[in-house]
Amino acid sequence: MKVIILAGGFGTRLGSITETIPKPMVPIGGKPIIWHIMKIYSSYGFKDFVLSLGYKQEIIKEYFHHYHIRANDFKINLGSKKVDLLNTHDEIDWNITLVDTGLNALKGARVKKIEKYLDDDINLMTYGDGVADIDLNELVKFHKAHGKILTVTGVHPPARFGEIVEKESKLISFKEKPQSSVGLINGGFFVFDKRLFNYLSADDQCDLEYETFEKLVPLGEVMVFKHLKNWECVDTERDLKHLDKLWSEGNAFWKFWK
């Protein structure tokens, strides 16, 4: 069972940050958010990844190509260029396939273009910008139990605005709006079987959510796994700073690993 991470978008809402790096490489605690996502999956034993790349793909490729240098201390002889690693990192058993799926391809096309790298009937997939304290074993169990083509994880969006409580125009209280008061949204963390590819094409205009998923819904082939705990994504610079703050304060809800 492989994990597809959609990591090819432009990330325009992050403004100047994504002028130099792709969105999945924005740092949280000194590590790219895509690394955090992969650590979530690997914590549950899912360590075989396929990265669907596009915008500034060379930066993601370079990061993983030289990962052993980035993640370890080492000594180097500048004459022979011999490198000796002084420690080992925890990701030695990760297998990562990095695939150029086009600069302007929509997500449906990106998924179709990596079909040849998938061997199993069931695979996992998510976006390259969202983290959660999700139980992936329960997610997969749920998917296998219903037998449909696709499982979407439904999440509550993070509370972004304060809630005003008033009476006769007089302010009674101002408090954070609870997540439970907001409906579910698509949080990524999908599970699908290979029948999904029958509804996709490699045409760059093939969309995933607003085309393919909408075809599957009337057929009764999409189920929702409700994740009612924590989920957040990096959509804006404010989101990025918030997640980085959680990490630095030791409050990263998505961190299952030691």
- Structure confidence at residue 156 (pLDDT): 87
**Residues 24 and 5: beta-carbon distance below 8 Å:** yes
The CA-based dihedral angle spanning residues 195, 196, 199, 203, taken in that order and rounded to the nearest 10 degrees: -120
Whether 48 has a pLDDT exceeding 70, the answer reads: yes
Domains and CATH numbers, the chain: 3-75+85-248 (3.90.550.10)
Owner of token pair 């490489």: 25
Residue 95 pairs in a beta bridge with 48
Whether 70 has a pLDDT exceeding 80, the answer reads: yes
Q: Mean pLDDT over residues 157-170, rounded?
A: 61
Average pLDDT, rounded, for the chain: 91
pTM: 0.91
Whether 150 has a pLDDT exceeding 70, the answer reads: yes
- Structure confidence at residue 88 (pLDDT): 84
DSSP state, residue 116: G
Give 27's contacts (C-beta < 8 A, 6+ positions apart). 33, 244
Q: How confident is the model at residue 29 (pLDDT cuts 50, 70, 90)?
A: very high
Q: Mean pLDDT over residues 154-178, rounded?
A: 63
Q: What's the gap between Cα 154 and its chain centre?
A: 14
CA atoms of 4 and 56, how far apart (whole Å) = 18
Outline where 72-174 has alpha helix (H).
107-113, 136-146
Whether 166 has a pLDDT exceeding 90, the answer reads: no
Least confident of 93-107, 141-155, 177-191: 177-191
For residues 28-60, b (16+ Cβ closer than 10 Å) or e, as one string?
Answer: beeebbbbbbbbbbbebebbbbbbbbbbbbeeb
